[in-house]
A and B are shown apart, each in its own frame.
Chain A
């Protein structure tokens, strides 16, 4: 039982990191209509950057914050490349983000080499109901929860958040009321960068990061985001937590080498069930 609880909490932590990346995907897709395949790269850049900064003796907190900001800048630059030119279609933008991801590999290998790097996180562990859990896992969960609350406040209460929502809902009308939809799109990319960076900084102490870790991250995050139809952040959060828990359970109970397949298989089943139920309702309505 305590092993189960440990896996559950660890899984939730992994899911939280996925959720942060997925929410970045959702934010960017809602505002710009672009699926940003460079989203995992932001996490990798932030993770590698923290490990270097900490290695140079920069204190905790400062290193992490700098890495997240750098990821935000990376997000902005990706946005400039992808949607900076007016009239770029979402499909071309998607290809550009793929290109940015590949280009990032080269830059990362030049700067950090191709070996995985880790970074020290919060040391120690606590025992909850007989289950030992690393403090870093709890930190991941707490930071993600706080981030989602902040995001909800941002989108629900601020004018900038409302303007972003307006762009997501009807870009044509948003332009008419004087909202610069391109700038809002760039803002969404920067936000996606920050969220991805946050995820990277949080998971680097848990699992070493290398230049190609972004593939695992983006596959998971994309599955979670698609679960929420790329538009519903809360559903995406649920999907991400489910994925994280499923993966950790699979690894914990001896299917470690197939954890991604097990988790994605489960996801597929959930989505098929969901889709079939929705179409049944739709048919009744017709």
Chain B
């Protein structure tokens, strides 16, 4: 589904990501882990299109996407949940989710302004889908609130609902557990597991090794911009290179 081949990116002569290759298969939950500064975020931004690669190819669903703008990749079926608070202020939680679906409706300005039947039908349909997504992430009772008033954990849940409404083929999660408290983290883990069970392909970037090894089918470990290990979680936990990278960072 996603194939990254020989991708490099440097900043001022220093490689943040160097000759990285990885592939994510349909229905798989793949996690990318690594110590701070390993190049995880750079790799993530290269995949989403917020950074351009110096070398290498990125293919998604068989198309070359490494020269496409982020919104084009999004329309191909990549949905992203960011670590930071990336919600639309001055809109309600429900509107935040609905705005991602605007491209799917056909009703124009006149019918929208005058609330003609076609627009109402479109809006009902989209509204129902938005409500379903909000219920799924546990935000149903917050739907009418301004989005920027939500605590950080719920803003992330909101991003997840927004991402799901885009009917993604691949869901990209950037450190989804960071800044979350214990029970929020548990709920998120349960939700991610549920999505995977539904057959959604997920690429997860995470600093927290515990969170990842429980969820992932496969773990890719980055260190100093290179892939140092790639395999099932059980194998990764025993890998001497991985242990060294994490211990080296801890010392």
Contact = CB atoms under 8 A, between A and B. Distances in A.
A177 B112 contact: no
Contacts of A169: 88-91
B166 A173 contact: no
B74 A173 contact: no
Interface stretch (A13-21, A109-117, A155-163, A243-251): A155-163
Contacts of A180: 69, 71
Given A162-B98, A163-B102, A176 B109 contact: no
B55 interface: no
Given A154-B109, A158-B109, A175 B74 contact: yes
Contact of B162 (A154, A158, A177): A177
Nearest to A86: B69
B127 to A, nearest CB: 12
A177 B90 contact: no
A153 interface: yes
B178 interface: no
A165 interface: yes
Given A176-B48, A178-B75, A153 B113 contact: yes
Nearest to A231: B90
Interface stretch (B9-17, B79-87, B179-187, B233-241): B79-87
A181 interface: yes
Interface residues of B, number: 31
A179 B108 CA distance: 17
Contacts of B80: 176
A160 B69 CA distance: 20
B99 interface: yes
A157 B122 CA distance: 13
B249 to A, nearest CB: 29
Contacts of A157: 112-113, 115
Interface in B182-241: none
Contacts of B102: 159-160, 162-163, 179
A145 B48 CA distance: 43
Main secondary structure of the interface of A (DSSP, over half): helix
B76 to A, nearest CB: 9
Interface string B6-31: 00000000000000000000000000
B112 A159 contact: yes
Interface in A241-279: none
B105 A177 contact: no
Contacts of B48: 176
Which 9 pairs show the lowest CB-CB distances between chains A and B?
A159-B102, A177-B100, A173-B86, A158-B112, A178-B74, A153-B113, A175-B70, A169-B88, A175-B71
Interface of A: 86, 150, 153-154, 157-160, 162-163, 165-166, 169-170, 172-182
29 contacts: A150-B113, A153-B112, A154-B113, A157-B115, A159-B99, A159-B112, A160-B109, A162-B91, A162-B98, A162-B99, A163-B99, A165-B88, A165-B91, A165-B99, A166-B99, A170-B86, A170-B87, A173-B87, A173-B88, A174-B71, A174-B88, A175-B71, A175-B74, A176-B48, A176-B79, A177-B74, A177-B166, A178-B74, A179-B99
Given A163-B99, A166-B88, 20 more contacts: A153-B113, A157-B113, A157-B115, A158-B112, A159-B98, A166-B91, A166-B99, A169-B88, A169-B89, A170-B86, A172-B86, A173-B88, A176-B70, A176-B79, A176-B82, A177-B99, A178-B71, A178-B74, A178-B75, A178-B103
